[in-house]
Structure 1
Amino acid sequence: MAQLTDYTAYADAQGHATSAALWDLFDGDREDLNIAHECIVRHADGSGRAAVRIAHADGRDEILSFDEIATGAARFAHWLDAEGIQPGERIAFMLEPSLPFYVCLFGAMQTGAISVPLFTLFGPDALKLRIDDCKPTILITNSEKADLARGAPGPRVIVADDGLLDDIARFPSTYTPKTKANDLAVFQYTSGTTRELPEAVKHSHRALVTLMFAALYGTGIRPGDQFFCPSSPAWGHGLWHGTLAPLGLGVTTGTFAGRFDPVRLMKALDDYRVTNMSAAATHYRMMKNSGKVADYAFHFRKLSYTGEPIDPATLDWIDLHFKVPVCSMYGTTEIGVVLVNYPGAEDFTVKPGSLGKAVPGQKLEVQRPDGSVCDAGEIGELMLWRGGGWLSTKDRARTDADGYFYHCGRADDVIISAGWTMSAVEIENSMLKHDAVLECGVIGVPDEKRGQVVKAFVVSDREGSDALIKELQDFTRQKLAQHEFPRIVEFVSELPKTPAGKVHRKMLRDREAAKAAEAAAA
């Protein structure tokens, strides 16, 4: 009997993709399901087949098999039982991708404990906030982060080194999972600031099943792909779309460990002969800016991205060098992926810059403030039908005549100047077409005459000057409209980023507000 993985066409997705069909992809059912079993154990057949390829920033390649991870995870699960860990207790991990990371992640899930991945670059305040929120019994980290971890009172800190792996080696290499489908499996934190801690999104084991809509139609994963996702598994994209989704389908995935380097990434994509990659917009932009793309060969059949729109200049670069259209995948940790471009579907036209169309079974509209539906081309708020009512995504969007959705920025990224409404995203995209602009962040800043004016923070390979400012202003006005240009330009060496790699406009706004407050006080 055909399964959803046997179909690649958009028309087939509309005709066959149902909740019931998703369950056919797994061993478990609506009562009994365990993520570790579905992603690792059932694919561990003794063949040594690769589960995860890790490209380390220092140039090393590490290949972990399904067999190796399954054995280690079972032993770690027994170790947790021996330590008295009960179902529902939280086990936190602050580790780069590595054998200990996957052993601990999947081992905890088998026992009914809840896995909590934490970003390795958290400072003491960010770590303490999350520890205070989820209250883990154990925090597992590396030797470099051990002192930092011990500064967060509460959890027992375990260093994930060879000693831990040696300690668990005395336990059996198989384990019978203790979970039901609706039991909690993962607490996932979104990428927020330490001052505004986002609440952990709580995922059950059955979340793996609904994730497959994003896997099949957002990243286009199918058996036989050589997959890669450079995003950290501490965040939603790297964990769910880059790790659990491909492994759940028995697909070999790849990831990056250590400080991100776009040239190291391209070498891994060549060496691993990657055919399907899902990355953040920033990853593609950094590869473009490296100037080293000609040094490597690529084997892509499917590409996707998430996090924020890709500027047109980078889209053109992808078309030129990767020869495959890159497909947007829109969603959040809270609502999941809801708009996709169906990578690999020959009967679906990928429109540059578009968010695509709805995942099968989802309903979205662009609405005016009064709740009426916007006309094609009209910008409004993107709304999702969920639980019998309309849920705001906090994003602005528009549709075209063919029903494709386009992102028009966060609701708080709208700039109103002298009565004109402008999009920070549109201005950034236009400025990024200029050869001197490597990165750009745009916000609105207060102005006595106009209410707000546009300020652009620019990373450039040219020396900042009044002449370059005027050049960028004129360039932007020619691309957009006479009123749509940055009246203020500040050249910076780097832009603040969220842990997911997006330009952190809120931090830019906060910095400007602090400067204004200091000036007023003076």
Structure 2
Amino acid sequence: MAHSAHVDTFTRDNLPPPELQPTFLFDLPELRYPERLNAVTELLDRWVAAGRGDRPCILSPGVSWTYAELGEQVNRIANVLVGELGLVPGGRVLLRSANSPMLVAAYLAILKAGGVVVATMPLLRARELAYPIQKARVSLALCDARLTADLEAARALSPDLTRIVPWGDGAPGSLETLAAAASPDFEAVDTAADDVALISFTSGTTGQPKGTMHVHRDLLAICDAYGRQVLKPREDDVFIGSPPLAFTFGLGGLVLFPLRVGAASAILERAGPDDLLAGVARFQATICFTAPTAYRAMLGKLAGHDVSSLRRCVSAGEALPPATFEAWRAATGLALMDGIGATEMLHIFIAAPYEKVRPGATGLVVPGYEAKVIDAQGREVPRGTVGRLAVRGPTGCRYLADERQRHYVENGWNVTGDAYLQDEDGYFRYQARSDDMIVSAGYNIAGPEVEASLLAHPAVAECGVVGAPDDERGSIIKAYVVLRDPAAASPALAQELQEFVKADIAPYKYPRAIAFVAQLPRTETGKLQRFALRQQAMADADPLLRSA
């Protein structure tokens, strides 16, 4: 470790011990960073210093900032953080907002001032906000003025939080008012490359959220690995997407990747399918980041929108069903670029360059990373064998003071909790989350494979497949299905769907029970909450639970 710039040493003091951290790889020349590094200098300031500050940078309804204008706003906010709000290097600052230009500027200002960003999803409520505040010992929060109520309520549960500064209401103490009076010049704090830059909390789909710590070097590494080697953006690209910036998929796709190459980003506060399609046309976006569910939802709306500017569409957040891939390619002529990442890894580590995309495969290991499929004892299994996915590279898991570090990192490898196989050509093919494998009458069945089959039926809009208790088989395959036309739900359609799956994949994998539902439980980032469906399936099978 280089000498830290952090005066507040909380994050470094709470890193996992070295023996529990993964092995980090910097084999590619572009991943060998200097010991002293502030990510904002590389992502933003260097473009201004090179005389390219007049290039478009942040686009949004009502706002259009060049690199120089974003740089000035970042500097003003950094001066407010240090001069008015007492931030010292290493101090944590919570951010609460929907995606907006101001959120981007505040995020970069915290990093430039040597602080540590704790970004939160805008839909979290007081109790959910209290946990990261307490876990990360956050004393200062910057918040969209429209979202302060839950944060104020969280403060009552979290005595560490002593100051909330709103933006967007123009009040005397608001962030924009303070920034307007601050200097537009600010010298980036001389942070070490391995000083913690952000704490991103996992979605908590498998228990209490985990705080994952990433350093300044990591922010560049994902740009120089996945961005440079796989996505291959250009300076004339315009990025757009739906993921919140608190979700590292969104941080990379909407902020880090475009800034790294001097491109522009269209930032949308509302980014549902209709908003995203309208945004593509309005800003002539060329690269889109969103989840498979959103691509599927946009398919029926394409006729009313011009998406001809798109040249790359990235899908991540959950497995990409082959039916969605094929339908999107048929409608747009574009192959979806699938990928798997993790909050623990910061961004995507398996994906194929556009020209090497194969339907049904997540992709190849991203240059700069290594990946393998292992058995329960950690031994690599032969090609074509299903096992646990293990990966290592320039980024990796560093949980904030959490015993679960021991479970995620094994012998220097990050073990993601995904079941995969690697084919003879080196492509990794997703099977399920390790805990989503269903054992029915002795067969191992991957829920996502059954979901992909059901999604190929024209009546199905969405579905989730889990194991349901069964006295005879131990468990059976149960599908929760959202129909395109809810009025079509009937026993006859359920039987039709069962026969459809039997004809598409091995018959023993068909759903023996089908429940038609209005919606599926999802996280704010769009991931299907299969644990909630498993709980529902348990309750449906147990009369006592059902009556309770």
Normalization by structure 1: what TM-score?
Answer: 0.88
CA–CA separation in structure 2 for the residues paired with 1:35 and 1:103: 14
Q: Post-superposition shift, 1:177?
A: 1.1
Distance 1:137 1:389, change over 3 A: closer
> Once structures 1 and 2 are overlaid, which stretch shifts more, 248-257 or 398-407?
248-257
Deviation track 1:265-318 (CA, whole Å, cap 9, x = no partner) reads 112112222222232222211212x33445324223222211222212211122
Query: Mapping of 1:439-458 within 5 angstroms?
Result: 439-458=462-481
Counterpart check, 1:202 vs 2:213: yes
Q: Which residue of 1 aligns with 2:535?
A: 510
Counterpart check, 1:312 vs 2:322: yes
Distance 1:380 1:180, change over 3 A: closer
Which amino acid is 1:19 matched to? L
Query: Does the CA-based 8 Å contact 2:540-2:546 persist in structure 1?
Result: no
Give the gaps of 5 or more residues in structure 1.
Answer: 1-16, 24-28, 55-59
Counterpart check, 1:436 vs 2:447: no
Counterpart check, 1:482 vs 2:477: no
Q: Which residue of 2 aligns with 1:248?
A: 260
Q: Which residue of 2 aligns with 1:270?
A: 281
Q: Post-superposition shift, 1:372?
A: 4.5
Q: Which residue of 2 aligns with 1:94?
A: 96
- Cα RMSD (Å): 2.2
Query: Does the CA-based 8 Å contact 2:241-2:288 persist in structure 1?
Result: yes
> Once structures 1 and 2 are overlaid, which stretch shifts more, 101-110 or 429-438?
101-110
Distance 1:131 1:390, change over 3 A: closer
Which amino acid is 1:245 matched to? F
CA–CA separation in structure 2 for the residues paired with 1:218 and 1:285: 23
Which amino acid is 1:229 matched to? G
Which amino acid is 1:133 matched to? K
Counterpart check, 1:68 vs 2:69: yes
Q: Post-superposition shift, 1:255?
A: 3.1
Q: Which residue of 2 aligns with 1:8?
A: none
Counterpart check, 1:175 vs 2:186: yes
CA–CA separation in structure 1 for the residues paired with 2:439 and 2:281: 45
Determine helix, strand or coil for the equivalent of 1:392: strand
Distance 1:334 1:437, change over 3 A: same
> Once structures 1 and 2 are overlaid, which stretch shifts more, 302-311 or 232-241?
302-311
Q: Post-superposition shift, 1:516?
A: 5.0
CA–CA separation in structure 2 for the residues paired with 1:118 and 1:520: 34
Which amino acid is 1:33 matched to? L
Determine helix, strand or coil for the equivalent of 2:231: coil
Distance 1:425 1:144, change over 3 A: same
Determine helix, strand or coil for the equivalent of 2:296: helix
Q: Which residue of 1 aligns with 2:143?
A: 141
Q: Which residue of 2 aligns with 1:7?
A: none
2:244 to 232, 237, 241: 232
Distance 1:282 1:41, change over 3 A: same
CA–CA separation in structure 1 for the residues paired with 2:185 and 2:52: 13
Q: Which residue of 1 aligns with 2:16?
A: none
Determine helix, strand or coil for the equivalent of 2:154: coil
2:58 to 52, 68, 73: 52
Which amino acid is 1:484 matched to? K
Query: Mapping of 1:177-196 within 5 angstroms?
Result: 177-178=188-189, 179-193=191-205, 196=207
Q: Which residue of 1 aligns with 2:444?
A: 421
Q: Post-superposition shift, 1:197?
A: 2.4
Q: Post-superposition shift, 1:375?
A: 3.6
Which amino acid is 1:304 matched to? V
> Once structures 1 and 2 are overlaid, which stretch shifts more, 294-303 or 129-138?
294-303
CA–CA separation in structure 1 for the residues paired with 2:96 and 2:131: 14
Distance 1:521 1:339, change over 3 A: closer
Deviation track 1:345-370 (CA, whole Å, cap 9, x = no partner) reads x4xx3210212111223222223335
2:416 to 370, 393, 415: 393
Counterpart check, 1:20 vs 2:29: yes
Determine helix, strand or coil for the equivalent of 2:508: coil
CA–CA separation in structure 1 for the residues paired with 2:492 and 2:536: 26
Deviation track 1:236-283 (CA, whole Å, cap 9, x = no partner) reads 10012321122122111223313x321221121122222222322222
User: How many aligned positions are there?
Assistant: 489
Q: Post-superposition shift, 1:328?
A: 1.5
Query: Does the CA-based 8 Å contact 1:231-1:255 persist in structure 2?
Result: no
Q: Which residue of 2 aligns with 1:12?
A: none
Q: Post-superposition shift, 1:500?
A: 1.7
Normalization by structure 2: what TM-score?
Answer: 0.84
Distance 1:142 1:475, change over 3 A: same
CA–CA separation in structure 2 for the residues paired with 1:73 and 1:131: 24
Query: Does the CA-based 8 Å contact 1:208-1:245 persist in structure 2?
Result: no
Q: Post-superposition shift, 1:46?
A: 7.1
2:176 to 161, 165, 181: 165
Determine helix, strand or coil for the equivalent of 1:334: helix
Q: Which residue of 1 aligns with 2:526?
A: 501
Determine helix, strand or coil for the equivalent of 1:304: strand
CA–CA separation in structure 2 for the residues paired with 1:487 and 1:521: 20
Q: Post-superposition shift, 1:191?
A: 1.6
Q: Which residue of 1 aligns with 2:432?
A: 409
Determine helix, strand or coil for the equivalent of 2:388: strand
Q: Which residue of 2 aligns with 1:215?
A: 227
CA–CA separation in structure 2 for the residues paired with 1:421 and 1:329: 24
> Once structures 1 and 2 are overlaid, which stretch shifts more, 35-44 or 178-187?
35-44
CA–CA separation in structure 2 for the residues paired with 1:133 and 1:372: 35
Deviation track 1:374-425 (CA, whole Å, cap 9, x = no partner) reads 3443322222257964442211111222121100010111111111111100
Q: Post-superposition shift, 1:234?
A: 1.1
Distance 1:48 1:359, change over 3 A: same
Which amino acid is 2:437 matched to? V
Q: Percentage identity across aligned positions?
A: 28
Give the gaps of 5 or more residues in structure 2.
Answer: 1-25, 394-409
